[in-house]
């Protein structure tokens, strides 16, 4: 029997005993197939408690899921590359470059807890305000009165993708459009 180099598996169980039995069966099956479980990555975790586990870019804990720290860091690094304060491109161009990155990240992580998407939207708009502040001879990050000069609706008019708005649209469509 052949398997891909790295096969990922999560088994959910109601009790510790069920989880231990499932792990024993998997170990037996893996040994019969002449494979080896990764000793550091193979574990029984109570995801209802503090700590949880990471799997395929998500962190699972206490019945919730959100992007793991590495996923957030990689996302922000990609946005940072496109939103340097002195980049010389128009706001339309910058938004056209970041929107596909934001949409793709949202599509994968849209099942996260709501506050993660809101926080990332705020962070992206702060980057945009910083660019505008620099162009108006200001220094530092977009903050304070910049929210009045360039409110969220300003970026919406330029077509900046909002993960929060997209999530609201999904939730409303599930409820029947209310």
70's tokens: 């590495």
Q: What is the pLDDT of residue 4?
A: 59
159's tokens: 């077509």
CB 11 within 8 A of CB 26: yes
Q: What is the pLDDT of residue 1?
A: 47
Domain boundaries, the chain: 16-64, 68-175
CA dihedral 118, 121, 126, 132 (to 10 degrees): -150
pTM, full prediction: 0.82
Residue spans of the chain under pLDDT 50: 1
């Amino acid at each position: 029997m052949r398997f891909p180099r790295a096969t990922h598996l999560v088994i959910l169980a109601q009790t510790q005993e069920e989880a231990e039995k499932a792990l024993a069966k998997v170990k037996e099956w893996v040994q019969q197939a002449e494979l080896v479980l990764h000793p550091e990555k193979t574990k029984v975790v109570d995801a209802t408690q503090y700590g949880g586990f990471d799997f395929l870019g998500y962190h699972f804990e206490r019945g919730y899921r959100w992007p793991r720290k590495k996923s957030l860091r990689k996302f922000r690094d990609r946005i940072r590359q496109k939103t340097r304060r002195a980049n010389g491109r128009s706001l339309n161009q910058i938004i056209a470059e970041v929107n596909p990155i934001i949409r793709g990240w949202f599509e994968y992580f849209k099942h996260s807890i709501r506050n993660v998407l809101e926080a990332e939207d705020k962070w992206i708009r702060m980057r945009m305000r910083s660019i505008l502040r620099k162009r108006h001879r200001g220094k530092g990050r977009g903050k304070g009165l910049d929210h009045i000069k360039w409110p969220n609706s300003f970026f919406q008019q330029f077509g900046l993708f909002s993960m929060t708005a997209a999530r609201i649209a999904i939730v409303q469509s599930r409820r029947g459009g209310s």
